[in-house]
Amino acid sequence: MSGLLSLVQSDLPTEFLARGAQVALRVAGAGLLGAVVALLYWRSRSRDTRTSGFAHTLVLLAPLIAMITIAVGQNVAAAFTLVGTLAIVRFRTAVRDSRDMAFVIFSVAVGMAMGALNLLVASCGVAIVGGMILLLRRLEVRQRNQDAAILRLVLSPPEADPALYVPILERFGLSHAVRRSTVDRATATLDLRLAVSGLAAERSPQLLAALLQLPEVVKASFAPEEAE
C-alpha cells in the first residue's frame, strides 16, 4: 500500500505528460514542415503534372517518419526490422495511389511503436496523423467541388477513340481527368464522365455545342458531382 502511495505521489504523471507533449510537438511539427514541402511541390509543378494524391503523401510522410524515428530511437534491431518490413510491402504490394503507401507506413509506424511499448508515440501519432488525413480529405473534396465540373459524354460506337474530345478541351484551355468510363452494350454507347477544370460558366454552352458537332458524340451535358 505504501509503495502504491509513493508511486502516485511521485513525479511520474508529470513526466508522462511532459513526454507526451514532447512527442506531440515533434510529430505535429514534422506535419507542419511536411505541408511546407507539399506546398513547394504544388507551386513548382504545372497544373497538368501535379497530383493532389502525391502532395498529400508528402504531407503525411514527415510525421510518419518522425513517429518511426521516435519509436525506434537507438534500437538498431528495430531499424533493420523496419527496413525489411517496408521492402517486403514495397515489392509484394501493388500500390495504385501514393497515399496507399502512406497508410502502409502509418500501420507499420503504429505497430513498431506498440511493439516497443511506446504508447505515447502510437497514441499521439494516430491522433495527429489521423486528424491530418481527415483534414486533407475534406480540403480535397472542397477543392474538387469548387474547381471541377463533371462533363458527361456519350459516344457511339463504343469503340470510338475516347480522346477525340481532347482538341476541343484544349482549345477552350481546359484541363481534364477521366472519372468514369462505362460501355452500355444495350445502346452500344460509351458513357464518359470527365472532371473538367478552368471552365467559365458563360462558356459552357459553347463547349457543349462544339462537342456535339463531333459525329461520335451522341450527348454532351454537365452532370452533378458524384458522391464517393
Residue 228: predicted pLDDT: 41
Q: Answer for the pair 157, 188: CB distance below 8 angstroms, yes or no.
A: yes
- From the list 1, 123, 136, 118, the residue with the least C-alpha distance to 55 is 136
Region 119-138 average pLDDT: 85
Q: How far is CA 114 from the centre of its chain?
A: 25
81 part of a folded domain: yes
pLDDT digits (tens, 9 = 90+) for 51-73: 777 888 888 888 888 888 887 77
**Claim to verify: residue 123 and residue 160 sit in the same structural domain:** no
The pLDDT tens digits for 159-177 are: 877 678 888 888 887 777 7
Residues 127 and 218 in one domain: no
Q: Does 184 map to a domain?
A: yes
Kindly state whether residue 37 falls inside one of the protein's structural domains: yes
Give a yes or no: residue 142 inside a domain.
yes
Is 156 in the same domain as 138? no
Task: For residues 12 and 95, state if they share a domain.
Answer: yes
Whether 131 maps to a domain, the answer reads yes
How many whole angstroms separate alpha carbon 5 and alpha carbon 88?
48
More reliable by pLDDT, 50 or 93:
50
Pairing of strands 175-184, 189-197: antiparallel
Q: For residues 94 and 134, state if they share a domain.
A: yes
Question: Both 122 and 13 in a single domain?
Answer: yes
Closest alpha carbon to 161 in 223, 215, 220: 215
Q: How far apart are CA 70 and CA 155, in angstroms?
A: 55
Which domain range does residue 86 map to? Answer: 2-146
Of 89, 121, 146, which residue is a domain's last?
A: 146
When computed from its CA atoms, the radius of gyration of the chain, rounded to whole angstroms, is 25
In a shared domain, residues 17 and 109: yes
- 78 and 21 within one domain: yes
Q: Is the pLDDT of residue 8 over 60?
A: no
The grid coordinates listed for 115 are 511493439
Alpha-carbon gap, residue 15 to 160, rounded angstroms:
68
Q: Which of 115, 146, 177 is the last residue of a domain?
A: 146
Most confident among 34-48, 72-86, 140-154 (mean pLDDT) = 34-48
Q: Is residue 48 part of a domain?
A: yes
Task: Say if 228 falls within a structural domain.
Answer: no
Looking at the fold, whether 101 and 198 belong to one and the same domain comes out as no
For residue 206 the three cell numbers come to: 459553347
- Would you say 197 and 147 are in contact if contact means Cβ atoms under 8 Å apart? yes
Give Cβ neighbours of residue 220 (< 8 Å, ≥ 6 apart). 151, 152, 153, 154, 208, 211, 212
Overall domain count for the chain: 2
CATH of the domain at 203: 3.30.70.260
Please say which residue of 123, 146, 169 terminates a domain.
146
Looking at the fold, whether 112 and 174 belong to one and the same domain comes out as: no
Rounded to an integer, what distance in angstroms lies between the CA atom of residue 211 and that of residue 218? 9
Q: Determine the pLDDT at residue 224.
A: 59
CA pair distance 152, 224, nearest whole angstrom: 10
**Same domain assignment for residues 21 and 130:** yes
pLDDT digit string (tens) for 198-219?
777 677 888 889 989 988 888 8
Q: Please tell me the distance from the alpha carbon of residue 161 to that of residue 182, in angstroms, as a whole number.
A: 14
- Provide the phi-psi class of 156: left if phi over 0, else alpha when psi is between -120 and 50, else beta: beta
Kindly state the greatest CA–CA separation across the chain.
90
- 140 and 167, same domain (yes or no): no
Residue 184's φ and ψ, nearest 5 degrees, are: -100, 105
Percent of the chain clearing pLDDT 70 (strictly above): 75
Strand order in 148-155's β-sheet? Answer: 175-184, 189-197, 148-155, 217-223
Structure confidence by residue, pLDDT tens digits, 12-58: 577 777 877 888 888 888 888 888 888 888 888 776 667 777 888 88
Q: What is the pLDDT of residue 5?
A: 45
